[in-house]
């Protein structure tokens, strides 16, 4: 049995390193990576060794502190120039996940507030901020879990898409936080996990972490969601988010919008669980959210001993889709539960 009692993302201050669970190795191997250079951190995010909107944000904050501590800049001007370069470089790794840019901006603000200080004081401030963002993620997710548990208390089973559990954050997760909180309270709830093609985050990651936690989980193919809803096997849907526009339109892993449409048709509540840092104040609607397009080989070749599609045939591979606000029952945040129309009052 793998050790899932620790944290998915952590800051090894003694060795000045970002420590993550390599999610490309799961579920068959549990591997931790210690990252120190901006190239390996960028690759970890881009190649999904590190993933999940909140987890990416926490990791970016830690990464910027690690890189600042490793800086060889001799003047404050050079240090700030290097810091800003690292910020832009990391943001380019996953453009849709708003938590990434949120965390980077938090670190930028920290630098701005102490830019008049000596370099060692600036570096210490950045480290303190990164550690604060890390611990804050745990508290936010636990709070999301508490609010979400009230919504799911009478549910026997819930459907989730992609992975928005502890592997996507530091500990509790977002969409799965209510499930973990309910378990802590002695309430068992079954989870149906969409496999989530093409990267199989549901089959590999959600199923892994829930089974490790002793939670009843069953994997279904993505095209089985209608079956489980029609036959009354689930009472609710709980998903995470990568970016939420101010009107409630939500970007999440590809396939989420289809699940939401089915839930609406069958009269099943559809909950989006996310911290306030996932709300994108620069996006008025879903049309303002950039959708990352990924390598088509993830569809045609990944997970197969041989190529699965004809050589001459291409594959479309958007990483996310936009779920219209009208399909969302409510948002579960660390500050409470809100209807889509209430979002404008949060900021």
Nearest Cα neighbor of 18 from 4, 32, 5 is: 32
Catalytic residue among 242, 249, 295, 342: 242
89: Cα within 13 Å, side-chain hemisphere: 17
- Which tokens sit at 2? 């793998």
Q: Which residues in the chain belong to E strands, given as ranges?
A: 9-12, 17-21, 32-35, 157-160, 190-194, 217-220, 236-239, 243-244, 250-253, 270-273, 320-323, 330-333, 336-338
Active site residue 222: no
Give the separation between CA 162 and CA 277, rounded to whole angstroms: 19
Nearest Cα neighbor of 169 from 47, 275, 63 is: 275
Give the residues across from 11 on adjacent strands: 18
Active-site annotation, residues: 242
């Amino acid at each position: 049995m793998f050790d899932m009692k620790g944290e998915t993302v952590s800051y090894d201050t003694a060795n000045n390193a970002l420590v993550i669970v390599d999610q490309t190795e799961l579920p068959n191997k549990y591997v931790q990576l210690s990252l120190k250079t901006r190239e390996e951190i960028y690759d970890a995010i881009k190649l999904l060794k590190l993933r999940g909107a909140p987890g990416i944000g926490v990791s970016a904050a830690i990464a910027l502190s690690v890189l600042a501590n490793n800086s060889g800049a001799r003047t404050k001007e050079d240090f700030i120039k290097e810091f800003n370069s690292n910020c832009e470089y990391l943001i380019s790794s996953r453009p849709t996940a708003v938590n990434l840019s949120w965390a980077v901006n938090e670190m930028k603000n920290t630098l701005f507030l102490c830019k008049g200080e000596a370099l060692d004081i600036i570096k210490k401030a950045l480290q303190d901020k990164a550690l604060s963002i890390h611990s804050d993620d745990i508290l936010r997710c636990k709070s999301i879990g508490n609010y979400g548990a009230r919504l799911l208390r009478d549910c026997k089973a819930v459907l989730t898409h992609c992975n928005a559990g502890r592997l996507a954050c530091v500990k509790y997760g977002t969409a799965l936080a209510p499930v973990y909180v309910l378990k802590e309270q002695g309430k068992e709830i079954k989870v149906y996990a969409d496999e989530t093609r093409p990267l199989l985050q549901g089959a590999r990651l959600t199923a892994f972490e829930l089974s490790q936690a002793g939670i009843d989980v069953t994997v279904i193919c993505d095209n089985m969601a209608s079956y489980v809803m029609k036959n009354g096997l689930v009472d609710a849907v709980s998903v995470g988010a990568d970016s939420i526009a101010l009107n409630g339109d939500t970007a999440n892993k590809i396939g989420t919008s289809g699940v939401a449409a089915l839930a609406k048709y069958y009269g099943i509540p559809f909950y989006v669980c996310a911290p306030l840092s996932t709300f994108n104040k620069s996006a008025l609607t879903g049309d303002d959210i950039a959708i990352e397009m990924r390598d088509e080989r993830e569809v045609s070749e990944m997970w197969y001993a041989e190529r699965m599609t004809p050589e001459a045939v291409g594959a479309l591979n958007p990483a996310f889709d936009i779920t219209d606000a009208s399909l969302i029952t409510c948002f579960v945040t660390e500050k409470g539960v809100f209807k889509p129309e209430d979002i404008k009052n949060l900021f």
